[in-house]
Chain A
Amino acid sequence: KQEVTQIPAALSVPEGENLVLNCSFTDSAIYNLQWFRQDPGKGLTSLLLIQSSQREQTSGRLNASLDKSSGRSTLYIAASQPGDSATYLCAVRGGLDSNSGYALNFGKGTSLLVTP
């Protein structure tokens, strides 16, 4: 079963710092990887989608990388702001599960707090 791990579980940084969130997965036969943001009591907002053939995607202050062979992805947030405070979830689609072509397999998330 595809296992997705996110480190750290929680992170607190002062405003303005650059930071990196880590995601690892056990089965490298993935179709793609997606990073989400979840605010308390809310649904998931898609941030970046990286297809298996790609190595990185960028959107504004966010940059996500993918190293499929080693089973790792990082989400880099530049010049963090208090509004970035949320839980960040990594999810992969693919692996050797029966639902590998359909479902996203999620990590438990990294809870980020950016202090003013």
Chain B
Amino acid sequence: GAGVSQSPRYKVAKRGQDVALRCDPISGHVSLFWYQQALGQGPEFLTYFQNEAQLDKSGLPSDRFFAERPEGSVSTLKIQRTQQEDSAVYLCASSLRDASRNEQFFGPGTRLTVL
């Protein structure tokens, strides 16, 4: 497609459930990022991929969060044993090449609500 797509757009989970959020970056984009945006806040960095390699996962809040990009295109963010504090919008972004200089393009996000 023309832009970054994410699915599902909305997800409601009961506390303790596992969830998987999908990101389809712009075709040919090497770099892929995940961010978490709490209500009323700016997005916070979670993790970064260059192709299939996860180069930085320093922003992942706990070991319940796991991300992968096995073939260097689609990425999945998995949250195990969800907690209420995980409720947020999860944004995916991609950029063409070198992440330090290129513009990041964002998807519409997945709004996760944990009950």
On A, residues with C-beta under 8 Å from B are: 4, 31-32, 34, 36, 41-46, 49, 51, 89, 91, 93-94, 98-99, 101-109
Contacts and interface: CB of A to CB of B under 8 A. Distances in A.
A6 to B, nearest CB: 8
Contact of B45 (A42, A89, A99): A99
Interface of B: 4, 6, 31, 33, 35, 40-45, 48, 55-56, 58-59, 91, 93, 99-101, 103-109, 111
A47 B35 CA distance: 19
A103 B56 contact: yes
7 contacts: A34-B104, A46-B103, A94-B100, A104-B93, A104-B104, A106-B43, A109-B42
A91 B33 CA distance: 14
Give the 4 A-B CB pairs with smallest separation, nearest first: A106-B42, A103-B45, A44-B106, A43-B108
Contact of A107 (B31, B42, B58, B99): B42
A34 B103 contact: yes
Contacts of A105: 45
A72 to B, nearest CB: 17
Contact of B106 (A46, A94, A101): A46
A38 B53 CA distance: 29
A86 B12 CA distance: 26
Contacts of B41: 108
Contact of A98 (B33, B58, B93): B58
Nearest to A46: B103
A30 to B, nearest CB: 10
A99 B42 contact: no
A104 B43 contact: yes
B56 A51 contact: no
A109 to B, nearest CB: 6
Nearest to A99: B56
A43 B91 CA distance: 7
Contacts of A44: 43, 91, 93, 106
A91 B105 contact: no
